[in-house]
Homo-oligomer: A and B are copies of this chain.
Amino acid sequence: MSAVVERAAYVHPAALVEGAIGAGTRVWAFAHVMRDAVVGRDCNICDHAFIESGARVGDGVTVKNGAMIWEGVTIGDGVFVGPGVAFTNDLTPRSARLAGLNRSHDGWLTPTMVQEGASIGGGAVIVAGVTIGAYALVAAGAVVTRDVPPHALVKGNPARRSGWVCRCGAKLHIASGNTICADCGATYIISDEGVVAWQRP
């Protein structure tokens, strides 16, 4: 429970914080931030969350209850990681004591990136090696097996794109072209490849 804690961070008495957490970050009961994990400022690390040595979490990130972030996973600023979200970091996991085969352990770690402002719904599973683009929305229960473009909404197992979402989180009601978010008024230009441009309301 030793910790590198800047001013104004909060650590619940039943949490374990051994890594570095930024100013204004709160860590709640039964959560565990391991040594050599890095968590930015103004984050909310909820009950039973786990952040492993080597994981990197940006500023203003919400890690909901029971979510697990491993070595090799990088979480950008302002990301929402929903309850029970399971990241992975090994595409061919075997228990360490297995076998005695020739398998090299070099290169077992497959990195994953979640870009700024993205949201990952509750119970989603993120297979190692993907990039989840900025402001994307992974639906609750989705199993993400390949890259998610910025602003994409993906759902299902395996997760497939079913639309685009605004920075504010609301669904945009077109597949391509120019549109205005009905919720916040931001404007977007969308092509077949994704969001080309946007403007604040």
A16-50, CB under 8 A of B: which get 1 and which 0?
Answer: 10000000000001101000000000101001101
C-alpha gap A60/B185 in the complex (Å): 47
A122 x B87 contact (CB < 8 A): yes
Determine the chain B residues whose CB is within 8 A of the CB of A78 once the complex forms.
94-95, 97-99
CB distance from A35 to the nearest CB of B (A): 12
Contact with B along A142-167 (1 / 0, CB 8 A): 01000000000001111000000111
Confirm or deny: A72 has a beta carbon within 8 angstroms of a beta carbon on chain B.
no
B167 touches A98 (CB 8 A): yes
Residue in A121, A141, A185 whose Cβ sees the most chain B Cβ within 10 Å = A141
Distance to closest chain B CB from A136 (angstroms): 11
Q: Given A48-B50, A50-B48, does the pair A16, B16 have CB atoms closer than 8 Å?
A: no
Q: Note all chain B residues with C-beta closer than 8 A to A170.
A: 92, 103
Main secondary structure of the interface of A (DSSP, over half): loop
Q: Min CB distance, A127 to chain B, in Å?
A: 5
A127 and B155 CA atoms in complex are apart in Å by 12
Contact segment of A2-10, A62-70, A189-197: A62-70
Q: Are B83 and A68 neighbours in the complex by a CB distance under 8 Å?
A: yes
- Knowing A86-B123, A184-B103 are in contact, say whether A95-B62 is a contact too (CB < 8 A): yes
A-B contact pairs, 12 of them (CB 8 A): A29-B32, A30-B32, A44-B96, A50-B66, A65-B68, A82-B93, A92-B165, A101-B168, A103-B169, A121-B125, A123-B123, A123-B143
Chain A positions within 8 Å of B, measured between CB atoms, are: 14, 16, 29-30, 32, 42, 44, 47-48, 50, 59-62, 65-66, 68, 78-80, 82-84, 86-88, 92-99, 101-103, 117, 119, 121-123, 125, 127, 137, 139-141, 143, 155-158, 165-171, 183-186, 200-201
